[in-house]
Amino acid sequence: MKLLLILSLSASSVFASKFDIDTYSTSLSFAQVKDVLATQESSGSWCFGTSVRHNDQGWEHYADGWEVMDLEGNRLGYRQLAHPHVNEQPFTRSQCNIEIPSKITKVIVRAKCNKHGFGGKSFLVDLKPI
């Protein structure tokens, strides 16, 4: 009985560590990832062109970054956004030279804002190596 309980707790913590892509806010107060183009460079690293939509209101509230994660939620890359895009929505910014282990075939891209952090729609990307 004790062994069953230990195995049960161990399995629960393993499954709980996976990132939940299906729970998010649709409010534009949270940064929403609208599209992602991932291309592998000749060096083997990856370049991500990510389109983000957010109700940027100026420096006090704007989308300030996006990240690439594996399916367990480990960060593989990050793109800082240096200023508000009040009159440019959605907008696309790229980040290259992101190293992704070859065994990883899918990643998640999610965006954040400087007021609410993460919480908007993420994007699941199937990686297609060259």
| Residue partners of 64: CB distance under 8 A and separation at least 6 | 80, 81, 112, 113, 114
* Structural domain range at position 45: 18-126
Residue 12 maps to a domain: no
- Give the pLDDT of the chain (130 residues) as one tens digit per residue: 443 333 333 333 344 447 788 899 999 999 999 999 999 999 999 999 999 999 999 999 999 999 999 999 999 999 999 999 999 999 999 999 999 999 999 999 999 999 999 999 999 999 998 8
Residue 86 maps to a domain: yes
Number of C-beta neighbours around residue 87 at 10 A:
7
Give me the pLDDT at residue 6, please: 36
CATH of the domain at 71: 2.60.40.150
Residue 77 maps to a domain: yes
In the block, residue with structure tokens 């993420």:
122
Residue 41 maps to a domain: yes
DSSP-based three-state secondary structure for 4: helix
pTM: 0.84
User: Got the DSSP string for 88-125?
Assistant: S-SEEEEEEEE---TT--EEEEEEEETTTBS-S--EEE
Residue 2 maps to a domain: no
Give me the pLDDT at residue 21, please: 87
Residue 11 maps to a domain: no
Residue 117 maps to a domain: yes
Distance separating alpha carbons of residues 84 and 57, to the nearest angstrom: 7
- Split into its structural domains, the chain has a count of 1
| Residue partners of 92: CB distance under 8 A and separation at least 6 | 35, 49, 50, 51, 52
Give me the pLDDT at residue 65, please: 98
Are 119 and 30 in contact by the 8 Å Cβ rule? The answer is: yes
Residue 9 maps to a domain: no
